[in-house]
Amino acid sequence: MRSDLFAQEHHEVEGPGNFVKQNSKMMKVELSQGSVKALQGSMVAYQGDVRFDHQGAGGVGKWLKQKVTGEGLPIMKMTGTGEIFLAKLGMDVHVIELENDSISVNGANILAYSESLTDDIQMVRGAGMMSGGLFNTTLSGTGQVALVTDGSPLLLQVGDAATFVDPDAAVCWSAGLQIQLKADIGMKALLGRTSGEEFQLGFHGQGFVIVQPSENMRFGGAQDAGQQVQQQSPLGGLGNLLR
């Protein structure tokens, strides 16, 4: 039997660590090095004795945050022995190594992360009530984070000048950055003819912001979730975009 499907480029990739990229769209998790939390529904295959458990809110305080903000991530905990292959809608996969660091992440871009990391839901300071609340997920400690982007991402350095990003395009950023919500509502927006660019996240301080060439990231896909978000918030559901 012969086919280009059997070429070496399609073979399983081995590597150090428990997060091993197989190609630009798929990642392998080696459970021998510890249990991992991953986006529910992201498993495409696995080998070995693996258990998948629903990950609860993680305590009364976090449960209350999720209920108040609506920002709970649909996470599963993977334990056992074996290998799990993860992907999300054919998006690009990227792995970040945290070494006693913290990073703020748009929840829609999270694929998986080490259980050793502490996760928390935080409100973006400065967003206030204008957007109905703007929240993101902060991951802290030592471990690995796997993110997905809709297209090839761009790293922007934040320095003396502020950096402004569309909330849908923001993937992750330095946890120490100060953030403010900038609103520019013109007459067309007031008349209902919005351009979709009325709100931006302003990043100040020293650090980085990673952006993607897409403004349609949602948990359940662009079209379905976009309809749900519009129903939840009169301003397009900005509070549901950064988790």
pLDDT digits (tens, 9 = 90+) for 130-181: 444 456 889 999 999 999 999 999 999 999 888 999 888 999 999 889 888 7
Tell me what pLDDT residue 157 has. 95
Q: Identify the residue with better confidence: 140 or 234.
A: 140
pTM exceeds 0.85: no
Range of the domain at 17: 4-240
Contact between residue 73 and residue 40 where contact means Cβ atoms under 8 Å apart: no
Please list the helix, strand and coil fractions of the chain in percent, rounded to the nearest 5, in that order.
Answer: 15, 45, 40
Q: Count of domains in the chain?
A: 1
User: Which range is least confidently modeled, 115-129, 139-153, 223-237?
Assistant: 223-237
DSSP strand pairing (207-211 vs 19-21): unpaired
Read off the tokens for 169: 């395009």
What is the Cα–Cα distance from 227 to 55, expressed in whole angstroms? 27
Work out the pLDDT band at 2, boundaries 50, 70, 90. confident
Which residues, 6+ apart, have CB-to-CB distance to 20 below 8 Å? Answer: 13, 14, 27, 28, 29, 30
- For residue 135, what pLDDT is reported? 66
Q: What is the pLDDT of residue 32?
A: 82
Res. 243: pLDDT tops 90:
no
CATH of the domain at 172: 3.60.160.10
What is the tens place of the pLDDT at every residue in 32-85? 878 899 999 999 999 999 999 876 544 445 544 554 434 456 889 999 999 999
For the CA atoms of 157, 107, 38, 148, what is the dihedral angle to 10 degrees?
Answer: -50
